[in-house]
Each structure stands twice: as C-alpha cells, then as structure tokens.
C-alpha cells in the first residue's frame, strides 16, 4: 500500500476494509480467496481496500449504488454490473437523441414559417414534435432517477 496519499483516508479505508471482511459475505470471499493463495493478512486486506476504492469510484461515477447480491462472484459481478450500467447508458443516450430531435424539429418548424412551405409539411413537423415529446415523457417515466448516495 502506497504511503503517498492521505494517511487519514488510508486509515479510514483500512477500518472499513476490516469491517467489510467481518460483516460482508462478498468481501469475506475476496479476502478468503487471497488468503487461500497463501498471501499475508495485510496483503489480502489491501486487495479488499483496493476493491472498496474501485466500488466507491464506480458509485460516484455512475450513481448506481453497490448491490452485494449482484456481486456474488467476480465474473457474475462484472456481467451484471455492466448490464445495469449499459441499460442506464442506453436510456441516457436515447433521451439525448430525442431531445436533439425535438430541437432540430422545432428549428425546422420555425424555418418553415419563414420560407414558403406546404401546410402538409408543417403538420407533419408538428406531429413529429409531439410524438418525440411524448416518447421523451414515456422514457422519463420508464427510467428511474439515479439514486443519491451518501459517502
């Protein structure tokens, strides 16, 4: 473990890692696997500390809380976590695309007022704007807001 960072943070992280190993099945598994490989106690605890830091970073970056049930085994955790994040990313990208479409359709509608355009085309643009707004509303109700985490 590097001594370059904050000693207070490292000390707090050490205590969190010790308690995690005692009370969390997920971290017990990580600790036990390193001990089974013949690693020393402090080395195994350092691995748990590293995992905790990566989990904290993931929570802060994605806003998705850590779920120990999803993280039963290493490979299972990666697949489930990535799947959940991918779904959230897809929803965000879909929202952004709909918002961009609505803006471009509104601009097109404003331009059609200035230039001579058929009323049929204007009606189609209005309908497309309404459909995009309805799809965005449906998407917002379908997706749950990102949970707030207190770390």
User: For position 77, what pLDDT does the model report?
Assistant: 46
CB count, 10 Å around CB of 27?
Answer: 24
CB count, 10 Å around CB of 39?
Answer: 15
Alpha-carbon dihedral 85, 89, 90, 93, rounded to 10 degrees: 180
pLDDT along the chain (151 residues), means of 10: 84 94 92 93 94 92 84 54 67 83 83 77 83 80 55 47
Cα 14 to Cα 1, 34, 51: the distances in Å are 11, 17, 12
Cα–Cα–Cα angle for 143, 109, 136, nearest 5°? 5
Q: Name which of 94, 68, 96 is nearest 81 in CA terms.
A: 68
**N-term to C-term CA, the chain:** 22
Q: Name which of 61, 63, 58 is nearest 78 in CA terms.
A: 58
Q: Name which of 36, 80, 71 is nearest 52 in CA terms.
A: 71
CA 16, 19, 25, 29 dihedral sign is: positive
pTM passes above 0.75: no
């Amino acid at each position: 473990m590097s001594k370059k960072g904050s000693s207070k943070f490292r000390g707090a992280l050490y205590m969190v890692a010790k308690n995690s190993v005692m009370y969390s099945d997920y971290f017990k598994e990580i600790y036990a696997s390193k001990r089974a490989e013949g690693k020393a106690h402090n080395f195994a605890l350092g691995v748990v500390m590293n995992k905790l830091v990566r989990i904290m970073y993931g929570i802060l970056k994605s806003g998705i809380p850590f779920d120990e049930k999803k993280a039963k085994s290493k490979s299972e955790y990666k697949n489930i976590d990535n799947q959940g994040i991918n779904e959230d990313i897809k929803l965000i990208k879909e929202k952004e695309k709909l918002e961009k479409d609505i803006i471009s359709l509104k601009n097109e509608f404003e331009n059609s007022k200035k230039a001579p355009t058929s009323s049929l085309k204007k009606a189609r643009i209005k309908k497309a704007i309404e459909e995009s707004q309805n799809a965005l509303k449906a998407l917002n109700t379908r997706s749950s807001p990102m949970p707030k985490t207190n770390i």
